[in-house]
Structure 1
């Protein structure tokens, strides 16, 4: 088939003889293509994007991108104004192409257009007329990236990687940091903030935005809204000379400025990181309008020293502890009447694990920093009550973003404890109101979402997610939400997400005689359109479904009655349907009815559905009835083989609960050949998948037949087990502690690692600023009436804190993951050697792993350790390293079961050169389970199974006595734990009766 002739207008563009004629052609092209997707497609196929790429690259404002073809602006006669006009027309034309839909993203992303546009935007001499159209292009691409493919996970980060790179990230600080001034500036600030809210999903990007000053520029913008609202603290002018402030009160935000994009950008940067949140709260913009309040004391509390100096009396109490003027704008609410209690789940623990800390109830991945409890009663920034005021006073997206930000601060432990009651009575009803069918936003915020869906729909989909984050692991908040009919509302909304969706858009018409698929395949990538993707409405429904599933999962982890309420509302089948993935290929026609269960779900929805299913499996009754009837195991057995590793982790976490001994699905897991997959995943390079797989295998191994246990050990392989149990659980702590001691340049404000290997009292960003070093002061020499971009860069110490805490989060997580792998492996081995046929499995392990190697590994876990430090006068040369409690509990449990084996198994334990000697060090351990387990070891070693073993028991009792066990047991007779005291009585009786006979 003959290739069609290129449109004449493209030939005119390529043959233009001057910049003015080139700009005129580009202007005509723009007018012809706006609103005409078919013309856009034709022009793209005939090479419009490479032409525009070369045209813009010829401007070469520092991007370093060489043009591919001969069309160059600088080669054509004309003035600089004409060259800028041509570039502007080309940029607007690209924006028109980007709005054509998801299919146009593929050629745009395949070309150098986005890097060139960002180079122009980042250039110091970028014309102001270019800023707004380039930002609109970037937002159009960001809005349509999720439409490309619902299977894509992680999300397409190509644009984010470019925008947040070292080369271009500074332009965001420059754009957001400018004064509002004109309408063009106002819009560009909101578009730049909107890009952060849409694209910033990676933790590395968030850290970069905080480190390069973007977070501080956003804080200044928030401060300008606080000024406009008249909420600047009285006396703030008197603090402007402090080095931690801006030096002047920011200009008030204009009336038409939107705060929602700013709040969203701040939220996505600080969420999951307490250190970035504190960095935001201690930024110069916030401290300028909300200066730190100094504590006031009664005159009678202030005493004078002999030389005129003053000091506080020992009974001095500060006035107005923690109060701010903003508190008077909030209504009073009843204090919490709900007493804290342990988890009310009827989920039975494994034997001997009643007192140990198990997994949190989070239904979707949550970083460790989210688990921190609220700090002291007075450690709260005035931003918190101001946000609560916004939640009550504003509406629409501003209200929701204020709710989301205050929720993040609450989750990070940066609010007062009594805020739980205020959030219960003020925030939860508002979030539930946003989910009502009749809730509508009068104005549509087209700037933030590109007009793809209405603000009302966007608010509904995000409100459920904010509710989920708010109520996680807090029973009082969960109770208030359930009392507000949250389960009933969310259940109905989940059902409605499965209503058939009729997309009225029709596929683009193509004239006969156009290129065949084979001919199109020979064209460059920037000349080929991508798949049509999904409609914005379909993606909205998928995101809404995901948020609803998260909210349901967050409401029910502790109360069986809540889980039963979910079942009674008839949504279990819909949760199971949400476990089914999208088909690999996109639908051929978008006009057919869609959104049925067979259409599947994207990866984020699968993860949320796994979280909801896992919460429901905590209920024995629900697991035995509703989940079995709905067939929960079938989709999970598919998801455990899913190509995305996050889905594998989420599915495995559900299978962990299905594999428990009381579960009727345990046999199904064994018969469905899931064990080989779990064993394979236990060897994964992903630590989370390893931990979840070992946890599931541990549950399968408990109280099962020996052939299944043998199959598990064979699947894991003896060499791998040797490697894991042979690792030193304190090696990481030793290396880190040595590095800290060697670092002689550590500032005095930092402390050293504690016994758990964690840094404490690290340069609190919200501490008083008195006594700062010179490098902490603002270096900008401008007078106080001016605010410059340089002032937004975090000073040296604040940047050091960010980097330090970021490293701390990563190293702490790595340490806990390493410990968890060892813990789960030891727990698995323990379950292998308990129950019927335990003696045979002990012999099997001794044969496969090695009798001496296994006992040596257990003894090594108990071995006391110390850290060799460099010689220093003021400190000792050794520091004790504590073996993690989780490892001690797992090891002592394992020894208990070995000691319950045959007499010769017990004899091996007491004959080992180090095992009993090291065990004696832990009878007075701070954790009750370690103390109890040590006593149980003594009981099992001295318990007489029959008369033939009496002499062996007596011999073992004598060895225990010579090792000092009687003194250890005597110290536990008055232990505060009842179980320890009762077990100690039994152990003393056995040892004394055997050694005195």
Structure 2
């Protein structure tokens, strides 16, 4: 039985309602008719119900604004929730209907977004007179939409951030802080807090959104919610009550969270905000909620050890011993674990370094986009916040999503270097077994509550889906953790799970049915996009499988970057064909998404492609795997397609794999050249995206090595001589001078370099974290308030913390931009190095001199070695000059080019010696801190003075005398006792050559 193709009487009643009461009655009837009936929802969309709902909601907002303008809306009336008027009742029914429509799936999202109804929702939620009864329906609607956002794929479904852009805009983000800042007083308040936190966890993926959430007070409000759980569990540190009135604290302990409150969505929201940013993580750890329950522990001494000086000052006796060394009492709740072995070496591998041998490598083993720090400076034992042992205790005591989210948060803090050094042992013996256990098929969550995910998939499936991603983040670039995970059987389990993600999906859902295959309702307004359904998306189960596959690929890639035996174990478990299948994107054709086959032919969404590229890149690090398993599985074909993918992140990921395929030992190098990939790489080298430029240049560098001269000339012509000229002549420190900062500058140097940060404040970039000695009252933490007077302002970061957060964000962006500029130039010089070495090197040097310019190339090399200073203006109007160090990466790359020029024909050597500045500037780097720079300087001397044949003997003597004249022997003498053996041995050779030629 089908519905009539003409609009029903109910629609006419809505359109012709003569009163708010009759409108509310009609909407209530419509709600009862549509809830749970997808076919009816589709029909009502086509009949134009969304514009009607939008009109109902907009009418209320318009009336409220008019009433507010006329002074008719007063406090008690506007906030009344018990005596709702017909207008509010109509709006409430419209909200519930829209939430029900959003549950229809991906096809319903397009008309919902087009109807412009969501901004109206947010305007109502953000208004001061929003009735409490509106809050939950609006939040549930937003969560329904967030749950059903389609997976990003090539053409049909680009990455959709429209809802996140609305929610996290400056106009509306305040309502999120207000909701999260309320007390756990009622069931409605508790539900709204958890729905808001869940919404942040689902939508917050962009760095800009994370920064706004931290700066607007949302992160601090979430921290207070965590502290309320800590209070409820009784884990407040002893003596914390004595510190609640100190600056930066709440003023009193927060009220305990009720037993029914859910911690998992709070931890998830915090994690997604702070991940990838150490500054946001420190902002969270220093928030008032955390500081109140976990004040910093100071060593305590016995009163007998505290002595009083003659002028009233106190001091400690010589035999004073602290009662405790500042360690958190929560440590005693954790089990003792064996200390991990010292950090293992980089590990033996038959994969050569990606670049010059022993050169400075900035590439980590990241197999998927992950800007986590690599534990360069883990916090000291005294600086670790007590939330870390509390999270570890929670992991042991809880289960389900709370356990997983606690594991995810502590993993992020560990990756950002905010945990103790010895935490590696505890993570090895405590966390890794739990994560591996979550991969088991029989792992079940007690209760299996799926309410936080819209009931689309079970909580157990969601947990299994996310556990591999946490494991991947945890073991990233840490061989001790990788070893424990592999020993625990992680590779075998993950390999089996990856295969199972290609099993056919059993769906209970049935496609929409229409009479005679036609639509059951005619669209009354063909011009209205709010009445047209979008493309049908994949089912929730299929989306969950795709995310599961993505996380499994991430975990496999994170386990095997260093050990060839781990990579071989992956191959032995038979996953290589499945990784290759995961490199195939979704077809551009409209597929039958109602009943997907889930085969390789169906393809994969963009996030899965990125993860598969990461796994393939890790496997290509093994020579044996590259020459056997990957070739047999046909890895080149999908990669050559992905390098042309419309998504630039996929292009970057595919190019990073091709970098390894283009190495000289790879049998696929010729395939890359013959498949006309070089023009694409050259085109991508000109991209505005710096990452794509770097990866493309890196791949071209590998292709150029030991290739024939015709291939090298193709690369030069593809890049363009003018472009190469532009890159090599850029000053690597010019951007640094403009930004007014450098790693070598002393942090305390008082300078006049200042600029506005993202908060619009003028800050001193040379001393970014220094606070002025005297601060105005409005820059201090507000006076603490008793619990009854806590307000939203308590959760807004004080000006000092906001300024520090914004400043560090700006510094991170500037530092990253500087590193990208340096990396592009480094790879370009490395490319030139590979162009002028190997067979036919002299012909290529002549070709480069002809195309780019002989003088220009030599001047560019000399300019990179030129000493630089920056002028600093002090507060007393005095000026000084500070030396700027040329980036080591540039020095190594440039000196390698000089080495190869010095190893070429005699007249090429003569050009180097006769240049007015090049060798003179080189003399300043013989005692450089980096061993590669010192070694390369000595190699230049060796190549300039090495006699290839008797015809060049006189030229060698002239060059030796020139080198001695500019002081090379003194530089070589200073390296005789160099700590590096290779430098010492090369120095002996250079001294012998120069002495032999000049004393003959």
TM-score over 0.5 for the pair: yes
Q: Secondary structure at the residue paired with 1:742? A: coil
Q: Report whether the alignment pairs 1:862 with 2:865.
A: yes
Q: 1:192 to 1:713 in 2, by over 3 A?
A: same
Residue pairs, 1:321-720, within 5 angstroms = 321-349=325-353, 352-367=356-371, 369=373, 372-512=376-516, 522-588=526-592, 590-591=594-595, 594-720=597-723
Following superposition, the deviation at residue 377 of structure 1 comes to 2.8
Contact persistence 1:617–1:657 (CA under 8 A) = yes
Q: Report whether the alignment pairs 1:798 with 2:813.
A: no
Query: Can you list the C-alpha shifts for 1:505-550, whole angstroms capped at 9, x where unaligned?
Result: 2211113495699979934110011122100010000000000000
Contact persistence 2:57–2:120 (CA under 8 A) = yes
Q: Report whether the alignment pairs 1:978 with 2:991.
A: no
Give the whole-Å Cα distance in 1 for the aligned partners of 2:874 and 2:858.
Answer: 35
Query: Can you list the C-alpha shifts for 1:341-384, whole angstroms capped at 9, x where unaligned?
Result: 12433212368522422410010112154554412232210000
Query: Can you list the C-alpha shifts for 1:608-650, whole angstroms capped at 9, x where unaligned?
Result: 0000000011011111111111111111000001010000000
Residue pairs, 1:763-782, within 5 angstroms = 774-779=777-782, 782=785
Contact persistence 1:4–1:514 (CA under 8 A) = no
Following superposition, the deviation at residue 42 of structure 1 comes to 1.3
Following superposition, the deviation at residue 504 of structure 1 comes to 3.1
Following superposition, the deviation at residue 62 of structure 1 comes to 10
Q: 1:62 to 1:907 in 2, by over 3 A?
A: farther
Following superposition, the deviation at residue 150 of structure 1 comes to 7.4
Give the whole-Å Cα distance in 1 for the aligned partners of 2:649 and 2:255.
Answer: 46
Query: Can you list the C-alpha shifts for 1:442-475, whole angstroms capped at 9, x where unaligned?
Result: 3233331000000011000100000000000000
Which ranges of structure 2 fall in alignment gaps of 5 or more residues?
67-77, 743-749
Q: 1:221 to 1:880 in 2, by over 3 A?
A: same
Contact persistence 2:927–2:975 (CA under 8 A) = yes
Q: 1:315 to 1:638 in 2, by over 3 A?
A: farther
Residue pairs, 1:88-103, within 5 angstroms = 88-103=92-107
Contact persistence 2:298–2:326 (CA under 8 A) = no
Residue pairs, 1:232-311, within 5 angstroms = 232-297=236-301, 305-311=309-315
Following superposition, the deviation at residue 815 of structure 1 comes to 0.5
Contact persistence 2:228–2:257 (CA under 8 A) = yes
Following superposition, the deviation at residue 498 of structure 1 comes to 0.6
Query: Can you list the C-alpha shifts for 1:197-220, whole angstroms capped at 9, x where unaligned?
Result: 000000000000000000000000
Give the whole-Å Cα distance in 2 for the aligned partners of 1:782 and 1:595.
Answer: 57
Match of 1:992 in 2: 995
Following superposition, the deviation at residue 301 of structure 1 comes to 7.2
Q: 1:31 to 1:738 in 2, by over 3 A?
A: closer
Q: Secondary structure at the residue paired with 2:972? A: helix
Query: Can you list the C-alpha shifts for 1:292-313, whole angstroms capped at 9, x where unaligned?
Result: 1122356787665553323468
Give the whole-Å Cα distance in 1 for the aligned partners of 2:210 and 2:290.
Answer: 19
Residue pairs, 1:798-817, within 5 angstroms = 798-817=801-820
Contact persistence 1:148–1:533 (CA under 8 A) = no
Give the whole-Å Cα distance in 2 for the aligned partners of 1:745 and 1:42.
Answer: 57
Return the match for 1:134 from 138, 147, 152: 138
Following superposition, the deviation at residue 818 of structure 1 comes to 0.4
Give the whole-Å Cα distance in 2 for the aligned partners of 1:100 and 1:356.
Answer: 53
Contact persistence 1:248–1:787 (CA under 8 A) = no
Q: TM-score, structure 1 length as denominator?
A: 0.94
Q: Secondary structure at the residue paired with 1:869? A: strand
Query: Can you list the C-alpha shifts for 1:123-173, whole angstroms capped at 9, x where unaligned?
Result: 000000000000000000000012686756762000000000011101101
Match of 1:897 in 2: 900
Q: Which consecutive aligned stretches of 4+ in structure 1 deviate over 6 angstroms post-superposition? A: 61-65, 298-301, 313-317, 516-521, 744-747, 750-753, 758-761, 769-773
Return the match for 1:164 from 163, 168, 172: 168
Following superposition, the deviation at residue 322 of structure 1 comes to 4.2
Q: TM-score, structure 2 length as denominator?
A: 0.93
Q: 1:349 to 1:240 in 2, by over 3 A?
A: closer
Give the whole-Å Cα distance in 1 for the aligned partners of 2:968 and 2:763.
Answer: 36
Match of 1:24 in 2: 25
Q: 1:951 to 1:567 in 2, by over 3 A?
A: same
Which ranges of structure 1 fall in alignment gaps of 5 or more residues?
66-73
Q: 1:117 to 1:517 in 2, by over 3 A?
A: closer
Contact persistence 2:251–2:785 (CA under 8 A) = no
Q: Secondary structure at the residue paired with 2:208? A: helix
Once superposed, what is the RMSD of the aligned Cα atoms?
A: 2.7
Residue pairs, 1:176-187, within 5 angstroms = 176-187=180-191
Residue pairs, 1:187-202, within 5 angstroms = 187-202=191-206
Q: Secondary structure at the residue paired with 1:195? A: helix
Q: 1:341 to 1:744 in 2, by over 3 A?
A: closer
Match of 2:71 in 1: none
Q: Which deviates more from structure 2 when the two are superposed, residues 515-524 or residues 863-872?
A: 515-524
Contact persistence 1:583–1:599 (CA under 8 A) = yes
Q: Secondary structure at the residue paired with 2:255? A: coil
